[in-house]
Amino acid sequence: MSHPLVIANWKMNIPSGGISSWIQSEMVSTNDEVDFNKKSSYFKFMGIAPPISHLSELENLLNFGFLGSQDISRFNDGAKTGDISADMVIDKGCTFSILGHSERREFYNETNKDVSEKLRICLEKNILPVICIGESLEDYNAGKTLEVLDMQIKEIFTSLSTKKTVVIAYEPVWAIGSGKTPTPDDVNNIHQHIKDIVQSIAEIEAISFIYGGSVNCENAKSFFQQTNIDGALIGGASLNGKEFLDIYNDFLETF
């Protein structure tokens, strides 16, 4: 089964006012079983990827949604200073991991090969992988969007065969944190293209396609209305709990 998902990526930030003020009253259950079951089902497409240091606090305050990490190590254990392994994030309650975010590529020189290795670790360990791909502004201006995506896809997915679910986040680098976005129509077409290419080189039983890049309350619905957009990866706007919940509600309305 594919996995629609609206993910908050807090990056290396804590919401202003702290985690407890980020959490909206609707996100917390009373001790009533009916309320708990209703909310569990309501929030089943919400993912939150806080800094690892704050996972436990978030897990203690919030009973709903999925917790995720913003990255995992491509190694399983040992002398890898600064890394956090898949088993360690699982231990902290994570069920998904963002992989290959453009900031990891830009600041830590992460390559498609690294992302490919991390993807395989996630699948082996039963972590839902959320793989980010996307073109730079330079490539976008040069009309090379599809060419760049094809190369990323080939280097990450070639020969992969899995019955597990994979999430692909299309995130044009020029749209991240810039307030600029491609049109929803463009994203829809690009997602179709990504789907076609992935299916031609890999056997993946279930893939979801989410969009990331300056999604906010004003534009979220226009993306969610597209048939090939199964959710969103949200940076800046996810640091405000109310705004993130509004976007999530928009997602459910169009689902």
The smaller minimum CB distance to ligand PEP, of residues 29 and 66, is found at 66
Of these residues, 101, 110, 135, 191, which one is catalytic?
101
Dig out the tokens for 36 from the structure: 């708990």
Q: C-beta of 99: minimal distance to ligand PEP in Å?
A: 12
Span interacting with ligand PEP, options 34-42, 55-63, 184-192, 227-235, rule CB under 6 A: 227-235
From residue 81 to residue 120, the character string flagging contacts with ligand PEP as x (rule: CB under 6 A) and all else as - is ----------------------------------------
Span interacting with ligand PEP, options 12-20, 26-34, 185-193, 231-239, rule CB under 6 A: 231-239
Contacting residues for 187 by C-beta, under 8 A, at least 6 apart: 170, 181, 211, 223, 226, 228, 229
- The residues pairing with 211 across neighbouring beta strands, listed in sequence order, are 170, 232
Active site annotation includes 110: no
Span interacting with ligand PEP, options 73-81, 148-156, 195-203, 211-219, rule CB under 6 A: 211-219
Q: Are 98 and 132 in contact (CB under 8 A)?
A: yes
Binding residues among 25-84 for ligand PEP as defined by CB under 6 A: none
Rounded to 10 degrees, what is the CA torsion of 143, 144, 146, 148? -160
Residue (of 94, 179, 81) closest to 130 by Cα position: 94
Of these residues, 103, 110, 135, 171, which one is catalytic?
171
Span interacting with ligand PEP, options 72-80, 104-112, 169-177, 196-204, rule CB under 6 A: 169-177
CA distances from 140 to 132, 144, 155, 174, 185 (A): 16, 6, 20, 8, 16
Q: C-beta of 101: minimal distance to ligand PEP in Å?
A: 6
By CB under 6 A, tell whether 226 contacts ligand PEP. Answer: no
Q: Are 5 and 231 in contact (CB under 8 A)?
A: yes
Report the residue from 49, 119, 173, 234 that binds ligand PEP according to the rule CB under 6 A: 234
Contacting residues for 53 by C-beta, under 8 A, at least 6 apart: none
Distance of alpha carbon 108 from alpha carbon 157, whole angstroms: 21
Active site annotation includes 191: no
Residue 97 dihedral angles phi and psi, to the nearest 5°: -140, 135
Q: C-beta of 211: minimal distance to ligand PEP in Å?
A: 9
Report the residue from 8, 127, 130, 215 that binds ligand PEP according to the rule CB under 6 A: 215
By CB under 6 A, tell whether 177 contacts ligand PEP. Answer: yes
The smaller minimum CB distance to ligand PEP, of residues 29 and 112, is found at 112
By CB under 6 A, tell whether 139 contacts ligand PEP. Answer: no
Report which secondary-structure segment, H or E, holds 212: strand 203-212
Tokens 């069920």, located at residue? 95
Strands 46-49 and 66-69: parallel
Which positions are annotated as active-site residues? 101, 171
Which residues make up the interface to ligand PEP (CB under 6 A)?
9, 171, 176-177, 212-215, 233-237
